[in-house]
Structure 1
Amino acid sequence: MNSVSVDAFTDGGTEEPRRSRSMLVVVGGLPATGKTTVSRAAAGRIGAAYLRIDTIEQALSEFADREGPCDELRHAVTQGLGYDVAYAVARDLLRQGRHVFAECVNPLMITRKAWRDVAETTGAHLVEVELVCSDPAEHERRATTRTVDIPGLFLPSWADILEREYEPWDRAHVELDTAGTSAEATVTSLCEALGIDT
């Protein structure tokens, strides 16, 4: 996998990070790599809006359950409806001049391209981030001991995570390894990559 430093996120060869436009930071990675903790904290440091696919998908699923037989809606959620909702909300926020952190697995080239399209259509500066946990034992421990913070959300098992479709990245992006690293240290590393004073 490729990784890049903050130098890739400057305009016209200057040393100053882009500050004149909204920033879209998409934090992806397999479940239990620390995406929620890290992206929520980093967003809070700059007062950015925070979008979480799990929250959107759970709300859609609860609506389907509450309204009776909604098999089509449930199917749409499994096919990416939550992502489509997040793209639309992110566009609105970015057009208002807000910085946005979007947290999702972002497992496929099609989802990564869609986030790039969001940035392009709004004139936002896109930063693509992938969190990984290079220690399988630590990753499994996190996956099997974490608690649910969204009522009703089903957490994937370790077997589910291992079997999840996750395509390799085809372009440079910020990669942060959370194995053996505190959440606070990872947040600091992310903020440094974004040019955010910590």
Structure 2
Amino acid sequence: MNSQVIVLTGLSGTGKSTLADHLARDLGVPAFSGDWLLGAIAPAHTVLAKLTRPDYLAMYHSLLESLITRQLMLDQGATVDCAINDTISERWQKIAEDRGARLDIVECVCSDEHEHRRRVEGRQRHIPGWHEVDWNHLQRMRVETPPLTVPHLTVDALYSVDDNLGHIHAWLRRP
């Protein structure tokens, strides 16, 4: 197995972007972010505004899937920072397996609601063309996001970035 794609998923404010960026640096692979991709296409807002929510999410996942596929075609890995469900995970797993690679999923959570809200309301990500997520948006996402049932590691934002990175690196070394 030459390549490994690590997907960090979860609700906003759970640390997935931070962990994805750290892992990308540690592993020497690109970090792909769904929010950065959507920010980049935001100037096409008149077209995007016409998309239904399912079509918008399909575009979001298709863009990331294309980047993952390209990396694997080059026998290289990546980290991916995005929200996924079991269906997307299974599709990306097949893409990885077809190329002799491994797909690992890390779900990021924040088990303390007060801390989670503080993190969401206090952050400024400064992604060009993209919006900051507020608590109401996060609550809608929580309702729309089914729990993952595919094999994955869960890390909690209540632990330090270094502790969570240690857990992830140990998990990634498994056979």
**TM-score calculated relative to the size of structure 1:** 0.78
Matched, 1:139 2:139: no
Match of 1:104 among 74, 82, 95: 82
Equivalent position SS for 2:166: helix
Deviation at 1:60, TM superposition (A): 1.6
Deviation at 1:191, TM superposition (A): 1.4
- Any idea what the Cα deviations from partners look like across 1:31-78, whole Å, max 9, x if unmatched? 10000101110111010121111111111222x14xxx4257755862
Aligned equivalents of 1:72 and 1:32: distance in 2? 25
Q: CA-atom RMSD, angstroms? A: 2.0
- Any idea what the Cα deviations from partners look like across 1:59-98, whole Å, max 9, x if unmatched? 1222x14xxx425775586232121011111111112111
Query: Residues 61 and 74 of structure 1 are in contact (CA less than 8 Å); yes or no, is this contact kept in structure 2?
Result: no
Query: Residues 39 and 187 of structure 1 are in contact (CA less than 8 Å); yes or no, is this contact kept in structure 2?
Result: no
Matched, 1:30 2:11: yes
Match in the other structure for 1:17: none
Match of 2:72 among 91, 94, 108: 94
Query: Residues 40 and 129 of structure 2 are in contact (CA less than 8 Å); yes or no, is this contact kept in structure 1?
Result: no
Aligned equivalents of 2:63 and 2:41: distance in 1? 10
Instruction: Give percent identity, aligned residues only.
Output: 25
Alignment length, in residue pairs? 171
Match of 1:182 among 155, 160, 163: 160
- Any idea what the Cα deviations from partners look like across 1:105-130, whole Å, max 9, x if unmatched? 21x22222232232123221111110
Match in the other structure for 1:160: 137
Aligned equivalents of 2:126 and 2:160: distance in 1? 19
Give, as a single letter, the amino acid of the residue that structure 2 aligns with 1:185: D
Runs of at least 4 residues of structure 1 off by over 4 A? 71-77
Aligned equivalents of 1:153 and 1:27: distance in 2? 19
Deviation at 1:151, TM superposition (A): 1.8
Match in the other structure for 1:194: 172
**TM-score calculated relative to the size of structure 2:** 0.88
Task: Show structure 1 runs of 5+ residues with no match.
Answer: 1-19
Q: Structure 1 residues 71 and 55 mapped into 2: Cα distance closer, same or farther (>3 Å)?
A: closer
